[in-house]
Structure 1
Amino acid sequence: MSEFERPIRLGMVGGGNDAFIGAVHRIAARIDGQFDLVAGALSSTPEKAQASGKALGLAPDRTYDDFKAMAIREARLKEGIEAVAIVTPNHVHMAAAREFLKRGIHVICDKPLTSTLADARKMAQAVEKSDALFVLTHNYTGYPLIRQARDMVVNGDLGDIRVVQVEYPQDWLTEAQPEDNKQASWRTDPARSGVGGSTGDIGTHAFNLACFVTGLTPESLCADLQSFVDGRQVDDNAHVMLRFAEGARGMLWCSQVAPGNENALRLRVYGSKSGIEWGQENPNVMRYTPFGEPTRLLTRAGAGAAGQPDHLTRTPGGHPEGYLEGFANIYLEAAECIRAGRTGQQSSKHVALPGLEEGMAGMRFIDACVRSSARNSAWVSLK
């Protein structure tokens, strides 16, 4: 196998035993055979880090008790990691990413960028000083129909964009959760999640998706944030109105206290010529309605699939693809960029990886929502 063809050596920070998103990243990285997990600092607890490394088949000397030790040693090894996936709670993102970036190791980081805007600015400095690639895993941008929707906007199929409606309701935090619920405990702790609760956890996904598909520039917003569950220190529901520099208007709703909703991310975009509607829970179908004409159903890899890059779909039309494949497409394009960098080439034009810019936009969104809500939902700038 040539240097270009061999799997990229991958490390992971976080994602140990019982961690949900770490397993998702590992599956996504393996789907196309582009990455080989060879090292990890999988938990802040040494005993759990070692047990997690053993469970994943990592060599004992490549299983680390902390990410700094991992970054230092792996950078010195001849066959050390080339990229690292950071899948920790938000407050660890900046410190971990900085250790790897300054040693030239590519970073694939879970969203949001960090837990605070101040840390996000430090992260930005680290990214700008490094020659390494920085990728933020806004995985919904990897869905083939989302890429097609983006192309339709660029091609003018929708005309001038006027209205953007995006929502992401869940129900899993409708009641207070026990302390031993790891996924809930850190997400509802402002010291680890940041000041934004639902806005940071899922609102950033909705905000990113709206901007990714439409290409619009968010200019200002007004937000009404709630913490409905007694004692909760972060928001669990948010209603946000958006103004875009191009003249379009938008509305965003995110909630983790909406019974009957699991992961109901939904996007609707209306222009002067037509409208589109897409939902994450049935991601292989998109409604497209030219004004005055019957609604058309566009399907992944089906008739009318123009604009869906072939490399982002793996099964024939009618066979469902979804969450894991969307994540895998982020890893696939990250691999393409890493491989292109080895030879000084440009990655192909279809690559649309979210990175620092999208991460900073998400952090400004959270910060603006909190500021607006604290001022009785006043309009605030996103700049």
Structure 2
Amino acid sequence: MTKLNWGLIGGGEGSQIGPAHRLGAGIDGLFHFAAGALDVDPAKGRAYAQSLGVAEDRAYGDWKEMLAGESKRDDKIDLVTVATPNATHFEITKAFLEGGFHVLCEKPMTMTVEEGEEIYKISKATGKQCAVNFGYSGFSLVRQMKAMIANGDIGKVRLVKAEFAHGFHADAADADNPRVRWRYDPKAAGVSAVLADAGIHALHMACFVTGQDVETISADYASTIASRELEDDAMVNFRMDGGAVGRLWTSAVAIGRMHGLTIQVFGESGGLVWQQEHPNQLYYTPLNGRTQIIERGAGDLYAEASRASRVTIGHSEGMPLAFANIYTDLAEIIRAEKEGRAADPAANLFPRAEDGLRSMASVYAATDSAKGDGRWVNAVPNILK
């Protein structure tokens, strides 16, 4: 099978997210790393791309040069990943979609709801996929949870509790650390810090597994370190369009918490619990029954979960393999389009522009609510009403 051509923007040497994307795109042999504009310094970007095996003429100095260069090629990239700072996502994603390329954009997809609506419309108009890297939705047992809920295994969903809390920004002495400071600066981060950075992963997870979308939000923000303009802790209540009630806690000052991404779903006839730090187990408790442990890699999982599992039962799978499932989904969708056939339905799970738009709308609604002492605010984007 001929590999699809893949390009990466951002994610250069020393990047936290770049290696995860390179591993995710390459691990199944579906994509060839063909082009890159990896660094804000053109010389460094070109050199690093070539050190990773990218041909000299496709190791670009910046994303504009890459767009122009790839647009002229017969073997142009099939998918480009945007892994640059948040404030640049909209401009780059918009340009590549309009240029006829499929895009996988790091979250947040945009900095404003209006930008999100524009990306949503462009993706629809061009017919090009705009995926958003809510990568944790790629974990095998998260997809098992989604399939179980859709199949009615826990009955109608009543309550969702989501968390994404860590303690890595709890030191007030880090106030001038540039790697931390920008996250709490509205000029760089936008209207929200920890909710937009971490909490939207948990919020998206709640929507992903339940198949419901957020309708209204009530939020309380706290800046526990006085020098911060934006919140480092948030408690968000939300109500969903399928009737479920949601609770979300996200924090950057929870000392002792490493990552803390947890999703719990409680239905009329059962409950499910999954933790990202222990991704191989999904806990299922039927009404009036004993708690059961569902193991990743077991032979009786739903097709969506089995497809997303690569190594044998009992061995750990991590974040890069979750990312790889997003890339595998996209490869199947892109290849099916090229071959004029229907795509595997189990591949139709990757987050899209609509998810990125809804997430940003929820951030703005939560921020509005927090400023209004927790009043309930509509979180549905106008274009989707």
TM-score range, shorter chain: over 0.9
Partner of 1:376: 373
Partner of 2:331: 335
Letter in 1 for 2:54: L
1:106 aligns with 2:85: no
**Contact 1:102/1:129 (CA < 8 Å) preserved in 2?**
no
**Contact 2:165/2:261 (CA < 8 Å) preserved in 1?**
yes
- Structure 1 residues 178 and 22: CA distance shift in structure 2, 3 A: farther
Distance 2:235 2:127 in 1: 39
Partner of 1:245: 241
| Cα offsets for 1:51-107 (capped at 9, x unmatched) | 322332323321222211210111101222221110011111111111211121110
Deviation at 1:235, TM superposition (A): 1.6
Partner of 1:359: 356
Distance 1:360 1:168 in 2: 20
1:32 aligns with 2:28: yes
Letter in 2 for 1:156: G
Higher mean C-alpha displacement, 164-173 vs 225-234 = 225-234
Structure 1 unmatched ranges of 5 or more: none
**Contact 1:94/1:122 (CA < 8 Å) preserved in 2?**
no
Letter in 2 for 1:357: E
1:154 aligns with 2:146: no
**Contact 2:236/2:366 (CA < 8 Å) preserved in 1?**
yes
Matches for 1:1-383 after TM superposition, within 5 Å:
5-176=1-172, 177=174, 181-182=178-179, 184-302=180-298, 304-351=300-347, 352-383=349-380
**Contact 1:284/1:322 (CA < 8 Å) preserved in 2?**
no
Higher mean C-alpha displacement, 60-69 vs 366-375 = 60-69
| Cα offsets for 1:111-147 (capped at 9, x unmatched) | 1111222221222232223232211111111111111
- Structure 1 residues 7 and 302: CA distance shift in structure 2, 3 A: same
Letter in 2 for 1:173: H
- Structure 1 residues 105 and 308: CA distance shift in structure 2, 3 A: closer
3-state DSSP class of the match of 1:150?
helix
How big is the alpha-carbon RMSD for the aligned residues of Structure 1 and Structure 2?
1.6
**Identity among equivalent pairs (%):** 35
3-state DSSP class of the match of 1:283?
strand
**Contact 1:84/1:106 (CA < 8 Å) preserved in 2?**
yes
Letter in 2 for 1:85: T
Structure 2 unmatched ranges of 5 or more: 381-385
| Cα offsets for 1:313-363 (capped at 9, x unmatched) | 111111111211111000011101110110222211112111011111101
- State TM-score, norm by structure 1: 0.94
